[in-house]
Amino acid sequence: MFNKQVYTDRRARLHTSMKDGIVLILGNNEAPMNYPDNTYHYRQDSTFLYFFGIDHPGFAGVMDIDSGEDIIFGNDVSMGDIIWMGPQPAVKDQAAEVGVNTTKPFDSLLAFIQDAVAKGRKIHFTPPYRADNMMLLEDLTGIKAKATKAAASEELIYAIVALRNIKDKYEIAHLDE
């Protein structure tokens, strides 16, 4: 994880390169092998990591281009999770480490996105590559899961490519490691 200013600057550059709407960046969830608690090795979505830096399952990031607000949606761990994994940082603490001040429970993402869709706001997202995120996008936006790749925002894709094409000193140092 980089310094929080790196993530704040990345999001700010994306804000300035987009016209309007809401940028929705979904993190990955655990992928079960043969039952829910027996999962493959976890790998976070690279775009989520680039802008939000949190390497844990069950998160989504939103950048409201019109208001300038960034929000992380995620749930704090349950007592059962703490028993198995030990104490875990709260969502608000993880968000603060990457310069995001607003957090909301993951379940509130549905109402947030549906409200934006009802107001006619553009929802920008990258092409999903995991079935669970395709189904989530269908629930959030009303776009059928099999059509979500085609409905991805070209404006967002080009903006992300332009940002990620140029490496900053922190990325270069990380690559050198």
pLDDT in tens, the chain (177 residues): 799 999 999 999 999 999 999 999 999 999 999 988 789 999 999 999 999 999 999 999 999 999 999 999 999 988 888 888 888 899 999 999 999 999 999 999 999 999 999 999 999 999 999 999 999 999 999 999 999 999 999 999 999 999 999 998 888 988 899
Tell me the whole-structure pTM to 2 decimals.
0.93
Q: Of 75, 53, 63, which Cα lies nearest the Cα of 15?
A: 63
Find how far residue 156's CA is from the centre of its chain.
13
* CATH code, 163: 3.40.350.10
Across the chain, the runs of DSSP E, i.e. the strands, are: 22-26, 32-35, 38-39, 60-64, 70-73, 102-104, 123-124
Query: What range does the domain containing 130 cover?
Result: 4-176
**pLDDT value at residue 11:** 98
Q: Which residues pair with 123 in a beta bridge?
A: 22
Phi-psi region of 86 (alpha: psi -120 to 50; beta: other; left: phi over 0): left
**pLDDT value at residue 58:** 96
Per 3-state DSSP, what percentage of the chain is helix, strand, and coil (rounded to 5)?
45, 15, 40
Instruction: Count how many domains the chain has.
Output: 1
**pLDDT value at residue 140:** 97
The residue with tokens 């949606």 is: 73
Please state, in angstroms and rounded to a whole number, the distance separating the CA atoms of residues 21 and 121: 5
Structure tokens at 92: 């608000």
